[in-house]
Amino acid sequence: MSSAFEALNSLLADPRRILLLSHVNPDGDAIGSQLGLKWLLEAQGHQVIAANQDGVPALLRADQVAPGWRELVRNPMKPQRRGNGYELVIALDCSDMARLGQAYDPSLADAPLVNIDHHITNLHFGALNIVDPAASSTAELVWRVAEALHWPIGPQAAQCLLTGIVTDTRSFRVGHVTPALLGVAQRLMEAGASLAAVNELVLERRDVDTICLWGQALAELRLEERIIWTAIPLTMRARCNSIEQSDSGLANFMVGAEEADVALILTERADGQVDVGMRAAPGFDVAQVALALGGGGHPRAAGCTLAPPLAQAAEQVLAALKLALAQQRQQHLPAQQSPAVEPPA
Ligand code: 5GP
Ligand code: MN
């Protein structure tokens, strides 16, 4: 067992009051890893509250994909939840503490903080860090913890973890899917999880308001130096009645454009701040640009939050992307120019 797992095991030697947190505007991996770990820890006799600033997104409010979703709360500090205080805090799927948003209260600093995450830009902010950028998802890391500590995985935990893995890999379609990951998925399905439920209820579904927003955003599409991008001002969201934050499906769709190496979507939030979502085609990396702008993510999918106004945020991120892409194309050049096998003289 690796030392990080051993250290976590020691923290869990006695029944604890544990708070599980994940990031603002949570996705399937944030919710799946949180709820999966909640089921697992409760089966070990711990008392667990799971919380995040924005609650459970609409598509995940279904027992078939996120069993236990009704128990996830937005304010973990209410006296009836806090009890005599949390003895351990675990952050899931967060590359830095700002990602916890208002779900994190300064008084929690008294409890040890465990950071379980798979972002390459993770800042190792925990007292204990279980961080592996090679992992497909935070849910996969939770699975590894359960395996290492010999925790049985019941059907609910299995479903939550599979939901995290499947949403973060877009159903096993991304580059870092390994044979071992398919083995994990097989075992989660054998424990009772449904792969079809995640595909049908989460990945393949969106509401009409979101489809309307895709239409409006795609009508404004621009292509500059192989960056395909669009901006979603609040007025556009109002026209489509789309109050929830935009889903990541549109950026994934846009980066499929043959003429683009990167897709970029800027979304104006109600508070005026600008959410930036980026996707890279194979061979390109947007994580470092996101990190430099105060955000983070993965080489092929990253994001950050910028100050208003929208137009200025667009200029800032486009300039950074153009520079980074030019450098990355330079690095690609020698490999492309020299043939793998010397032609016979
Ligand atoms: P999405 O475009 O789906 O919202 O995010 C893509 C990836 O970037 C996700 O892994 C997400 O965690 C990360 N990300 C998005 N926005 C931010 C941000 O503001 N800060 C950080 N640290 N990561 C972000
Ligand atoms: Mn994730």
CATH of the domain at 249: 3.10.310.30
Question: Do 326 and 186 share a structural domain?
Answer: no
* 55-81 confidence digits (pLDDT tens): 999 999 999 999 999 999 999 999 888
Residue 89, CA distances (Å) to 34, 82, 296, 319 in order: 12, 12, 22, 38
Same domain, 74 and 120: yes
Q: Which domain holds residue 39?
A: 2-203
User: pLDDT band for position 246 (50/70/90)?
Assistant: low
Query: Are the beta carbons of 280 and 262 closer than 8 angstroms?
Result: yes
CA of 266 to the centre of ligand 2 (A): 20
Query: Does residue 336 register a pLDDT over 80?
Result: no
Q: Last residue of some domain: 203, 236, 271?
A: 203
CATH number for 53: 3.90.1640.10
Closest atom of ligand 1 relative to the 265 alpha carbon: 2
For 26, 85, 88, 97, 311, the CA distances from 109, given in Å and listed in that order, are 22, 11, 10, 12, 38
Same domain, yes or no, for 105 and 145?
yes
Residue 227 parent element (H or E): strand 227-232
Average pLDDT of span 88-104: 98
Residue 87 exposure: Cα atoms within 13 Å on the Cβ side: 12
Residue from 104, 169, 304, 305 to probe ligand 1 pocket by mutation (most atoms less than 8 Å from CB): 304
Which stretches within the chain are classed as H helix? 3-11, 28-43, 79-82, 138-148, 155-168, 179-190, 195-198, 208-219, 234-239, 249-254, 287-292, 310-337
Is residue 345, in this structure, part of any structural domain at all?
Answer: no
Q: Are residues 189 and 284 in the same domain?
A: no
Cα(152) to centroid(ligand 1), Å: 31
> 240 and 327 share a domain?
yes
- Taking only the tens place, the pLDDT of each residue in 171-228 is 999 888 999 999 999 999 999 999 999 999 999 999 999 999 999 999 999 999 999 9
pLDDT one-digit tens code per residue, 268-327: 999 999 999 999 999 999 999 999 999 999 999 999 999 999 999 999 999 999 999 999
Same-domain pairing of 254 and 140: no
pTM, entire model:
0.94
Residue keyed to tokens 């503490």: 97
pLDDT in tens, 148-168: 999 999 999 999 999 999 999
